[in-house]
């Protein structure tokens, strides 16, 4: 069962609608469906809200530590609430998928994603779930950092929103522990 859903992104207006903020953006759409409002919690270095999904109470977290230090906030929340890595779902952008493609997995490496790298370091484990939201890759010769920190085209934005819409119905089953069934459907 999932007790904490973390959306990865960077704080600040200049990053709000960038590809790298897919995790933040997804949690905002999720919260709009389930109700509640973000509260900044200094001791956790992030915005936190408690909500109920599929009749289960859980926390949603948007770290305010910038992407590369996301593990600081995740680690603090996990320790304070005694949440195990396998009870965490991290929502993040994924370069290896076309824009809007969404897949679920458990464990694995960080694949060069600095937010995941920091979470693994702070939890001392990679045994958490990941909802990977495709943002596509930049054209050959383009700098990856510039690409992820830029706003998607209108067409890619529509694909991202479509991916959010595709993933949201599976959050209830994921939260309630039906991760294998959700994984089988999302990943095909």
Q: What's the pLDDT band for 55 if we cut at 50, 70, 90?
A: very high
What gap in Å lies between CA 50 and CA 187, rounded to an integer?
A: 28
When pLDDT is averaged across residues 134-140 and rounded to a whole number, the result is: 93
pLDDT at 35 over 90: no
CA atoms within 13 A on the CB side of 150: 13
Q: What are phi and psi of 49, to 5 degrees?
A: -150, 145
Q: What's the pLDDT band for 183 if we cut at 50, 70, 90?
A: very high
Q: What is the predicted pLDDT for the residue at 27?
A: 97
CATH annotation of 4-186: 3.40.50.1470
Considering the candidates 20, 47, 113, 122, report the single residue annotated as catalytic. Answer: 20
Q: What is the predicted pLDDT for the residue at 155?
A: 96
Q: What is the predicted pLDDT for the residue at 111?
A: 84
Q: What is the predicted pLDDT for the residue at 188?
A: 84
When pLDDT is averaged across residues 7-30 and rounded to a whole number, the result is: 96
pLDDT tens digits, one per residue of 84-114: 999 999 999 999 999 999 999 999 988 889 9
| Eight-state DSSP code of residue 138 | P
Q: What's the pLDDT band for 150 if we cut at 50, 70, 90?
A: very high
Residues of the chain with pLDDT > 90: what percent?
94
Domain ranges of the chain: 4-186
When pLDDT is averaged across residues 181-187 and rounded to a whole number, the result is: 93
Q: What is the predicted pLDDT for the residue at 127?
A: 97
Active site residue 56: no
Q: Name which of 3, 5, 25 is nearest 165 in CA terms.
A: 25
Residue 121, SS3 per DSSP: helix
Q: pTM for this one?
A: 0.96
When pLDDT is averaged across residues 127-152 and rounded to a whole number, the result is: 94
């Amino acid at each position: 069962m999932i007790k904490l859903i973390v959306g990865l992104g960077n704080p600040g207006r200049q990053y709000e609608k960038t590809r790298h903020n897919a995790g933040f953006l997804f949690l905002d759409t999720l919260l709009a469906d389930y109700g509640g409002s973000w509260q900044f919690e200094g001791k956790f270095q992030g915005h936190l809200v408690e909500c109920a999904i599929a009749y289960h109470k859980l926390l949603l977290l948007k770290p305010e530590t910038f992407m590369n230090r996301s593990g600081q906030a995740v680690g603090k929340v996990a320790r304070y609430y005694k949440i195990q890595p396998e009870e965490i779902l991290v929502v993040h952008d994924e370069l290896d998928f076309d824009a809007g493609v969404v897949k679920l997995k458990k464990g694995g490496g960080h694949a060069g994603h600095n937010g995941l790298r920091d979470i693994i370091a702070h939890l001392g484990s990679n045994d958490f779930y990941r909802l990977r939201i495709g943002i596509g890759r930049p054209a050959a010769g383009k700098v990856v950092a510039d690409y992820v920190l830029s706003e998607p085209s209108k067409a890619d934005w529509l694909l991202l929103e479509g991916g959010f819409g595709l993933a949201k119905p599976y959050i209830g089953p994921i939260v309630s522990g039906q991760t294998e069934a959700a994984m089988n459907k999302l990943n095909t």
